[in-house]
């Protein structure tokens, strides 16, 4: 996880309004998240679409990993040989 740079990653919303194009260009270029403040307090998080998509994919992967670990812990698993045998049977049946 990236470290927050207090000099560039935190911007007042008024600065964003005044320099929207430049800030959006910087987002695309450096892929860092920007925290917008309003009245000195955090108000919103701004990041590039690419960075957002990367984080969504990472989250989906982590959720899948956790689900797999839970299935393993609860014994809801199929041995590899059984899985492939079932797959071969389905393919032979045309399903």
Q: Which two tokens stand for residue 61?
A: 């992967």
pLDDT for the residue numbered 77: 85
pLDDT for the residue numbered 93: 83
pLDDT for the residue numbered 95: 57
pLDDT for the residue numbered 86: 87
Neighbours of 37 (CB within 10 A): 16
Q: What is the pLDDT along the chain (95 residues), one digit of tens a residue?
A: 678 787 789 999 999 999 999 999 998 898 889 999 999 999 999 999 999 999 999 999 999 999 999 999 998 888 888 889 888 988 988 75
pLDDT for the residue numbered 1: 62
pTM over 0.75: no
The CA distances from residue 16 to 6, 32, 57, in Å, are: 15, 15, 28
């Amino acid at each position: 996880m990236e470290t927050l740079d207090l000099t560039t990653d935190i911007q007042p919303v008024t600065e964003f309004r005044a320099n929207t194009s430049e800030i959006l260009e910087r987002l695309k270029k450096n892929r860092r998240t920007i925290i917008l403040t309003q009245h000195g307090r955090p108000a919103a998080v701004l990041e590039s679409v690419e960075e957002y998509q990367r984080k969504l994919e990472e989250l989906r992967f982590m959720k899948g990993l956790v689900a797999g670990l839970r299935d393993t812990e609860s014994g809801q698993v199929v041995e590899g040989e059984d899985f492939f045998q079932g797959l071969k049977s389905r393919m032979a049946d045309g399903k």
